[in-house]
Amino acid sequence: MLTGQQYKDSLKDGRKVYFQGELIEDLETVPALAAPLNEVASGYDKYFNADPDAINPVTMAPMSAADLRDRIPVITEMDLLTNTTYQSLMTLSVAAARLEAHVPEVVPRIRAYVEQARKDDIRITECITDAKGNRSLAPSKQEDPDSYVRVVERRPDGVVIRGAKLHISAAAFGHDLMVMPTKAMKPGEEDYSIAACIPANSPGVHMTNTTYHPTGRDPRDFPVSSHRSIPDSMVIFDDVFVPAERIFLDGQTAHAAVFAHSLGLWERLGGVSFMVEQADELVGLASLIAEANGTAKISHVREKIDEMMIHATLLRAGLEAALAHANSTPEGYFYPDDMYTNVTKYQGASQFNTMVKHLHDIAGGAVVTAPSMLDFDNPELRPYLEKYMSTGSTVSGEYRTKLFHAIRDTTADSFGGWHFVTNLQSGGGLFAQRLVTRKNYDLERARALALKAAGLSGA
């Protein structure tokens, strides 16, 4: 296993990482990149074990429903990159099992890769969403054939790929990029049916970065995003060679969706758990700021907090139902129920903005106008700010100001905006969750109930 420092050194591997238009040689020189780099490094140190045979236990599969439940606090605490690594390795393990009967030749490769990755303690990111071009057209019908990542050349020792993957969290900080198709492909789309794990420093790989990290601002004014920001990359594959042993699917259109489906099993526990925590955090912020404002007993404020608690509890019920109905793969790996996790994500995503509206309504305009902690540092200003931001002897000006900053940072600034968008879009978006519901809901039972009500049961 690697220490945090060894990890940081390992990224000085010639990778092409860009930020604000510049090629970045050393990630630590750019504050917005240094912050996540150090967070990932801390994760390495946290799990480090000097035993040469040690592997990180959090990358192993949950083998029972109880084990699955026990993962929740681990996953929600874990840095995002360790989480994507765990998800990726689990995805590959399940995909290998599913491909055994259909594409047996890739199975040993996948298994060897997984074993080696655990041994080398590397970090892996997930590259799914293609550039897509015109969304109403299929991959092979696009004006630009590279709108979806594809194989442009096949050589005896591997393939050359071209295209771009969007919205790739933490891409610049991982060792390998797990590239996989978004969905099942049709005959004629063989070149788009490519899955592989590609070193981030492969020639031809370029990674731009966007972030909500509050560079140049006082971290105390951004209490969450200043230390928990993860850049999103566009990962460009400009004719990148992939050696054969890293290719896990190539041309088997019917099986192109195996990887995304397998990933679905593993990503959702984290996603739903995070949503439940986020909903509880919003309740907490609303409760604290109402108390600090002296409005906690006003009827409409209490009712808004009630609604937020009901929302959070409903999401938790969804998570609990998903755990109570956990399923296992043929290999005995446990994952939460599809249907319940999906409706929970849908509900969480579609109601998030309303919950934030309640919080803003309760908190008041100081969410965006509370003075900076730098203003508090000014000895002339500080007494004024303490005096006028305080609402009584039990609520200091600084305490209340920090609550406003936390609310602004998480719901009314760059990081908040990122949540608005990604809550809606993650895991394929609301539409994808509808499709899963259509597929899983027991419609026949519902129709039988309706026929019975209509006196048509014998029909």
Q: Which of residues 90-149 bind its own copies (CB under 8 A)?
A: 129, 131-137, 142-144, 146-147
Whether 360 contacts 367, CB under 8 Å: yes
Query: Is-contact 304 358, C-beta < 8 A?
Result: yes
DSSP code at position 148: S
Residue bearing tokens 């938790």: 316
Using CB under 8 A, which of 187, 216, 330, 458 touches its own copies? Answer: 216
* Residues 28-57 close enough to bind its own copies by CB under 8 A: none
Residues 159 to 178 in contact with its own copies, rule: CB under 8 A = 163-164, 166-167
Q: Which of residues 270-329 bind its own copies (CB under 8 A)?
A: 277, 280-281, 283-285, 287-288, 293-295, 297-300, 302-303, 306, 309-310, 312-314, 316-318, 320-325
Nearest CA to 139 out of 149, 126, 127, 153 is that of 149
**Region near its own copies per CB under 8 A, out of 39-47, 188-196, 259-267, 358-366:** 358-366
- Which of 6, 10, 38, 215 contacts its own copies by CB under 8 A? 215
Segment lying near its own copies (by CB under 8 A), choices 98-106, 192-200, 258-266, 366-374: 366-374
Return d(Cα 404, Cα 411) in angstroms, integer. 10
* Member of 63, 66, 254, 368 binding its own copies (CB under 8 A): 368
Q: How far apart are CA 310 and CA 289, in angstroms?
A: 19
At its nearest, how many Å lie between its own copies and the CB of residue 147? 8
**Other beta carbons less than 10 A from residue 233's beta carbon:** 28
Output 120 or 277, the one with its CB closest to its own copies: 277
- Residue 7: HSE in the Cβ half-sphere, 13 Å Cα cutoff: 27
CB of 200 to its own copies, least distance (A): 16
Give me the DSSP letters along 236-272. Answer: EEEEEEEEGGGEEEES-GGGTTHHHHHHHHHHHHHHH
Among 123, 175, 246, 405, interactor with its own copies by CB under 8 A: 405
58 lines the binding site for its own copies (CB under 8 A): no
Assess contact for 122 and 1: CB atoms under 8 A: no
Which listed residue (34, 54, 184, 224) binds its own copies by CB under 8 A? 224
Q: How many CB atoms lie within 10 A of CB 179?
A: 29
Question: Out of 161, 205, 272, 412, which residue is the one contacting its own copies (CB under 8 A)?
Answer: 412
Residues 335-354 that bind its own copies (CB under 8 A): 339-340, 343-344, 346-347, 350, 353-354
3-state secondary structure string, 271-332?
HHHHHHHHHHHHHHHHHHHHHHHCCCCCHHHHHHHHHHHHHHHHHHHHHHHHHHCCEECCCC
Is residue 199 within 8 Å of 175, Cβ to Cβ? yes
Looking at beta carbons only, is 87 or 347 nearer to its own copies? 347
**Can you tell me which residue has the tokens 């108390």?**
291
9 binds its own copies (CB under 8 A): no
458 contacts its own copies (rule: CB under 8 A): no
Q: Which residue stretch of 45-53, 173-181, 263-271, 423-431 sits at the interface with its own copies (rule: CB under 8 A)?
A: 423-431
Shortest Å, Cβ 333 to its own copies = 21
Q: In angstroms, what is the C-alpha Rg of the chain?
A: 24
